[in-house]
Structure 1
């Protein structure tokens, strides 16, 4: 099956040789949209553009990810959320190039509950039997806002639980299946919005700050990548996805349980979407 998909993808661009056997090192912070986009980039650069060894470096530390792109240890990070991560970007702006947003929709993020709970606002949470707020990696700006601003502002009695995103989603799956009351951190784009019927909670005190505002999802690349590797640069610069497309990509990856297999399957089923990125890369050689 994998061989068939590779042949189908290969038909998109014809002959290879564009990557000139180059490698690339992409950052992955573990968030699902980052997992999806980085693995899709790897699949298409290797399968279509003759790259060898496009590697994905996984780290839960957002600060070090920015520093490593700035120092050149990493070539690119494709999950820059602005204005959320603006302070981090400001620290490295002299040493990276910030590309245009790849996400064409409107982001949403905040505290959420399953729709079967009769709760619509953060200030109603203490009146429920929910004991935990299931969160993600502590380096996340949203986690910091919830822990340092939201919980004190609303005197929340729940315990904020730090966990890898995958661990948080496992708890959501388990608790949702048994219709228990719980609170968690949610965002869009993400496949959770397709799988579960959830409600983002109102924040009447605006304690989440900039996290309440729609954000841009974009990419930073190390300084000099445009000249050193114009093919990879052009590919990442051309990459763009709608909310439906990124949610579908994430859902396919989650369904396959293997990011590379899921990305390869999605690319084979969405040739019209990926073709312009590949053509942009070919034209940059």
Structure 2
């Protein structure tokens, strides 16, 4: 009667060994992508997580502030970030690029915009350039409206105020969420009140608000090309070597401004949609986009990645 017990013991050891190795293998496929609470970054990140999950990865969107996103990548607590707006984020991101703990990696959206804006009726009345803001300080109640505290755009505005650039020393920054700031802008525009706010494209605000981006930005503020920006996908040091297949996918995931504007407009028009649903709806109608994303990409088991993702679109 000893042999059967030995056989059972051997089977149990084998099962336990397989289980342990399975856990280790799955742990190696965990991918964390940091994101911030901006609609565009959320859409891109959720789409990336969805594609990665279809390939068999355990992927997660981690919502943090911009500074924490870089610290998380630097310490290995996050693997990637798809919302690196340059040059405006240079003051936060460059030190990590220089240390080598974060790789700037690949541009995912050229031709973006990130700078100060006003309702177009303000521009028509003479507020067209950074140097014009202080001239209309009383009309603006000496306030500039930003988004969440700690983001790079707010930091640039605070630096302009602290250094009295363009005569802005008397102004106060009003931080808020993206949604809160835009609600304030809409409220002001309905009453034809004056306001200067942080604007960017792509975003549905460009369709919903008759707005004008100010000229006069410098390399010390939002960049020397009037706030024209490129958005990058950053990855942590070592990620490409550890996860070459997932890295290939992220490298190929690009998002034209026109694509993002359409997705954001759909979100605004249909409040029941989530960013992921709106993104996937657009992707279904444009299969040429996701086919490029998945060229040469496999599942975690080495099978073609395109059919695996397309199954999730049914």
TM-score (ref. length: structure 2): 0.73
Structure 1 runs, 4 residues or longer, greater than 6 Å off: 204-207
**Residue 104 (structure 2) aligned to one of 98, 102, 111:** 98
**Residue 197 (structure 1) aligned to one of 187, 210, 217:** 210
Structure 2 vs 1, CA of residues 204 and 69 (structure 1 numbering), >3 Å: closer, same or farther? closer
Contact 1:130 1:158 in 2 (8 A): no
**Residue 72 (structure 1) aligned to one of 73, 76, 92:** 76
Match of 1:112 in 2: 117
Mapped to 2, the partners of 1:235 and 1:243 lie a distance apart of: 19
Please state how far the C-alpha of 1:28 moved relative to its aligned partner: 0.9
Q: Given the alignment of the two structures, is residue 26 of structure 1 paired with residue 39 of structure 2, yes or no? A: no
Mapped to 2, the partners of 1:243 and 1:154 lie a distance apart of: 30
Mapped to 1, the partners of 2:207 and 2:296 lie a distance apart of: 31
Match of 2:232 in 1: 218
Mapped to 2, the partners of 1:182 and 1:250 lie a distance apart of: 23
Mapped to 1, the partners of 2:182 and 2:85 lie a distance apart of: 20
Structure 2 vs 1, CA of residues 271 and 205 (structure 1 numbering), >3 Å: closer, same or farther? closer
Mapped to 2, the partners of 1:199 and 1:84 lie a distance apart of: 19
Q: Given the alignment of the two structures, is residue 149 of structure 1 paired with residue 160 of structure 2, yes or no? A: yes
Q: Which piece of structure 1 moves more, 196-205 or 129-138?
A: 196-205
Mapped to 1, the partners of 2:238 and 2:70 lie a distance apart of: 16
**Residue 137 (structure 1) aligned to one of 119, 130, 148:** 148
User: SS where residue 109 of structure 2 aligns?
Assistant: coil
Q: Which piece of structure 1 moves more, 189-198 or 236-245?
A: 189-198
Q: Given the alignment of the two structures, is residue 45 of structure 1 paired with residue 56 of structure 2, yes or no? A: no
Mapped to 1, the partners of 2:295 and 2:217 lie a distance apart of: 47
* Alignment gaps of 5+ in structure 2: 1-24, 303-314
Contact 2:118 2:196 in 1 (8 A): yes
Q: How many residues align?
A: 262
* Alignment gaps of 5+ in structure 1: 1-19
Q: Given the alignment of the two structures, is residue 121 of structure 1 paired with residue 129 of structure 2, yes or no? A: yes
Structure 2 vs 1, CA of residues 270 and 137 (structure 1 numbering), >3 Å: closer, same or farther? same
Q: Given the alignment of the two structures, is residue 57 of structure 1 paired with residue 28 of structure 2, yes or no? A: no
Deviation sequence 1:231-254 (CA, Å, 0-9, x none): 321111001122111222233344
Mapped to 2, the partners of 1:231 and 1:275 lie a distance apart of: 15
Please state how far the C-alpha of 1:99 moved relative to its aligned partner: 1.7
Mapped to 1, the partners of 2:149 and 2:201 lie a distance apart of: 19
Match of 1:10 in 2: none
Contact 2:217 2:223 in 1 (8 A): no
Deviation sequence 1:185-212 (CA, Å, 0-9, x none): 1122322222222111232887636364
Give 1:123-272 correspondences, 5 Å limit: 123-125=131-133, 126-127=135-136, 129-131=139-141, 132-149=143-160, 152-156=164-168, 157-203=170-216, 208=221, 210=223, 212-254=226-268, 255-256=270-271, 257-272=273-288
Please state how far the C-alpha of 1:176 moved relative to its aligned partner: 2.7
Structure with more relative contact order (C-alpha pairs < 8 Å, separation 6 or more)? 1
TM-score (ref. length: structure 1): 0.80
